[in-house]
Amino acid sequence: MATTDTRARTLPTDTTGLPADDATERRAGGTLPRIDAVTIGLVIVVLLLGGVALEAFRGTGAVMAHIDHLRDQDVALLDTLHDLRSRDLETERLVGQYLTRGDADRAALLTEIVGLLGASRDDRQRLGDLAHPADRVAIDAASAAGSRVAEVHSSALRLAGEGSPGEAAALFFADGTAATEAYRAGLEELLVAQGAEVQSQFDGVRQETDTARVLVSSVLLVVILLLVLVGRMNRRQRRQAQQRSAERDAFSADQAMRGRMHSAFEMSLTENAALETARDAVRQELPGWRAELLMADSSAAHLHRVATTHPDATEPSCAVATPMDCPAIRRGAALCFDDADAYDTCPQLRGRDLTGGTAVCSPVKVMGKSVGILHSIAPTPPASNHLQRLEAIVQTSGDRVGVLRAFATTRTQAERDPLTGLLNRRSLEDAVGGLAAQDVPYSVAFCDLDHFKRINDTHGHAAGDRALRQFGRVLDSTFRPGDLVGRWGGEEFVIVLAETSPEEAADAVERVRSSLAMALLVGDTPSFTVSAGIAGPTDDFETAVARADAALLEAKRRGRDRVLRHDALVDAEPAG
C-alpha cells in the first residue's frame, strides 16, 4: 500500500475558534434568523394554492354566468319556441275540427281555441322580450307570421259562426295553409338557430370548464412537484443539520480533549514528566493503541526510547537510531503504513505484525525542529478523529517540552555565570539561604587565581578566559553534587560545602589544586596556581565569606599557592 502523508483534519474555524457558520453568526451579534429552502417552498406552495383557488373561483364564476345566461335567456327562449309551435299546431287542429263539426261541439272547441290563441299571443310577446338583438328581425318576422295565422284562424272562425262554413273552410285551407307554412318555416328556422346558439353556449361552458380543469390540474401538478422538491430539500437540510451538529459535537469534544491535555501538560514541570504525560494521553485518548516515544539526546545525533504505553510487551520497538534515519522526521510530517512488507514501507517496520492495523509515525517538534518521534500502532485503520487526537498529543507535548527547555535555558542564564557555567553570586547567595533555612551547617572556601592580571597582560584576555573556564571545570568535577560552587566575581570563586568541617573543606580544596595542576599539563591554557581561604560554620553567610576572604589574603601574603583555614589563623595568634 502506498505511503501517505497524514495530517489531522480540523473543522474550518474563524478567528473565534468556532466552526465557520457559528463564527459568522457570532460576529453578527447572535443567532441570525435563517430563511431556509423549506420555508421558501412552503410560501411558494401557499401562493400557488391561493392562485389555484382564485382561478378556480374565477372559472366557476364564468361557468355559473354562462349557466345563468342559458337558463334565463337562451333555454327559456328555446322552450318558448317549442311551446309556441306546439300551441299553434294544436290551434290548427282544433280550428279544423271546429269547421267540420256540428254546432253542438263548437262551443267547447271555440273556448279552447280562444285560449290557445291568447297563449300564443303571449308567447310571441315573450319571444320579443327574450330575443337577442341579432335575432330580433327573425323573431319579429315569425311573430308577424304567427299573427297572420291567428288572423286567418279568427276570420275562419268568424265566417263559420256567421253561417258561411264554405267560405270559412276555403279561407282556412287556402290562406291559412300558406300563412301556417310561412309561420312554421320561420319558427323552425328560429328553433334551429336557437338550438345552435344553446349548443354554442354549452360548448363555451364546456370549454371554460375544461380550461379550468386543465389550469387546476397543472397548478396541482406543479404544487405536487414542488412539494416533492421541498421534501427532498428538507431531507437534505436535515442531513446537513445533523452533519453540522455532529461536527459541532466533534469540535466540542476535540476542544474539551485539548483543554484536558493542555491542563495536564501545564502540570508537567519537567521534560520527563511532560513525556510521561504524552504516554498517558495516548493510553487514555487512544485505547488499544501501542505507542513509544523516542527523543534525541543533547547532541541530536541519537534517538532513545523515553516512554512507552506497553513496557512489558514482547513486540520489538522501533529500531531507528538517529533522527536522520527516520523518514517522518526528515519529512517533518506524520506517515501512515498499513503493510509492513510493502516496498514503500519504512525499513524499520519490516517484519512487524500489522495485521488489520496501521503504523503511524508522528514527529515531535520542539520550537519548529523535529527532535523526536511518536511511533504508534493502531489496532484498526485509524479514523480522522483518532489522527486528530494523536496530532494534538504530539503537538501539545512538543510545545510543552519547548517551553520547559526555554524556561530551563532562561533559568540557567539567570543563575549561571556565562563564562564558567557555575552559579553566579546572586544564585549562590540564594542557595545558601536555603541551607540556612534548614539549619544545615556548612564551611566556605574562598579561592582566587594567583597573578591573574599577569596572565591577561602577558597572554591576553582570551587566555585569561580559558584559565577561568579551566578552573571552573576543575571545581565542578571535584566537589560533590550537593556542594555549591560559584564564581564570586573576576578571578574569585566561592564554594559552600554542606555539613563539612573546615579541615574537610581544606582537604577538598587541596584536591582541587592537585587536579588543576594535572589539567594544566595539557592544552594551551597558561600555567597558574590558586590560593584559598577556609572558614567554618558561623551565624551568617557574610561572616563566613569575610573570614574565608581574610584567610585567603593571609595565604596570598605568605606566598600564594596554598590553602589556609581561618580557625587555624585564630589559634596561631599570640595571646594578649
Q: Is 143 helix (H, G, I), strand (E, B) or coil?
A: helix
Which residue in 443, 428, 441 sits closest to 506, CA to CA?
Answer: 443
Amino acid at 251: F
Angle at 330 between CA 326 and CA 333, to 5 degrees: 100
Looking at the DSSP bridge assignments, the partners of residue 423 are 416, 486
* Confidence class for position 421, pLDDT limits 50, 70, 90: very high
Can you tell me the distance from the alpha carbon of 328 to that of 335, in angstroms, rounded to the nearest whole number?
6
pLDDT at 413: 81
Looking at residues 251-275, what average pLDDT do you find? 90
Contacts of 124 (CB under 8 A, 6+ apart): 84, 142, 143, 146, 147
Least confident span in 49-63, 173-187, 386-400: 49-63
Residue 499 annotated as catalytic:
no
Q: Chain-wide mean pLDDT for the chain? A: 81
DSSP string for residues in 65-102: HHHHHIIIIIHHHHHHHHHHHHHHHHHHHHHHHHHHS-
- Among residues 341, 352, 393, 388, which one has the least CA distance to residue 372? 393
**334 contacts 5 by C-beta, under 8 angstroms:** yes
Residue 334: which of 372, 301, 305, 298 has the closest Cα? 372
DSSP letter string over 254-286?
HHHHHHHHHHHHHT--SHHHHHHHHHHHHHHHS
Pairing of strands 369-378, 290-296: antiparallel
The rounded distance, in Å, linking the Cα atoms of 228 and 421 is 81
Strands (DSSP E) found in 461-573? 484-489, 492-498, 530-535, 563-565
Name the more confident of 382 and 105: 382
**Stretch 98-124: mean pLDDT, rounded?**
74
pLDDT at residue number 10: 36
Q: Of these residues, 55, 112, 491, 499, which one is catalytic?
A: 491
Which of 118-127, 165-174, 185-194, 284-293 has the largest mean confidence? 284-293
Strand partners, 334: 6
- Cα dihedral 21→26→32→36 (10° resolution): 0
Give the model's pLDDT for residue 420: 94
State whether the Cα torsion 35-37-38-39 is positive or negative.
positive
Local confidence band at 315 (pLDDT 50, 70, 90 cut-offs): low
- Greatest Cα pair distance in the chain: 206
User: What residue has cell string 265566417?
Assistant: 159
CA angle 204, 209, 214 (to 5 degrees): 125
Q: For residue 509, what pLDDT is reported?
A: 96
Helices (H) and strands (E) in the chain, counts: 16, 11
Q: Residue 4's pLDDT is what? A: 42
Has residue 233 got a pLDDT over 80?
yes
Of 156 and 53, the one with more pLDDT: 156
The span from the CA of 317 to the CA of 294, in Å, is: 10
What's the pLDDT at 576? 42
Give the separation between CA 7 and CA 420, rounded to whole angstroms: 45
Domains identified in the chain and CATH numbers: 40-225 (1.20.120.30), 267-394 (3.30.450.40), 416-572 (3.30.70.270)
Q: Average the pLDDT over each of 22-31, 145-154, 354-363 and give the range with the smallest value.
A: 22-31
The residue written with cell numbers 317549442 in the block is 82
Q: Is the pLDDT of residue 571 over 80?
A: no
For residue 374, the tally of other CB atoms under 10 A from its CB is 27
536 pLDDT tier (thresholds 50, 70, 90): very high
Cα-only R_g, the chain: 62
Beta bridge partners of 360: 336, 376
Phi, psi of 361 (to 5 degrees): -110, 115
Over 90: is that where the pLDDT of 147 sits? no
C-alpha to C-alpha distances, 574 to 202, 554, 565, 570, nearest whole angstrom:
155, 16, 17, 9
pLDDT-derived band at 66 (thresholds 50, 70, 90) equals: low
Mean pLDDT computed over 350-355: 74
pLDDT of residue 68 exceeding 70, the answer is no
53-75 average pLDDT score:
65
63 vs 247: which has the higher pLDDT = 247
Q: Which of these, 515, 507, 514, 509, lies nearest to 532 by C-alpha position?
A: 509
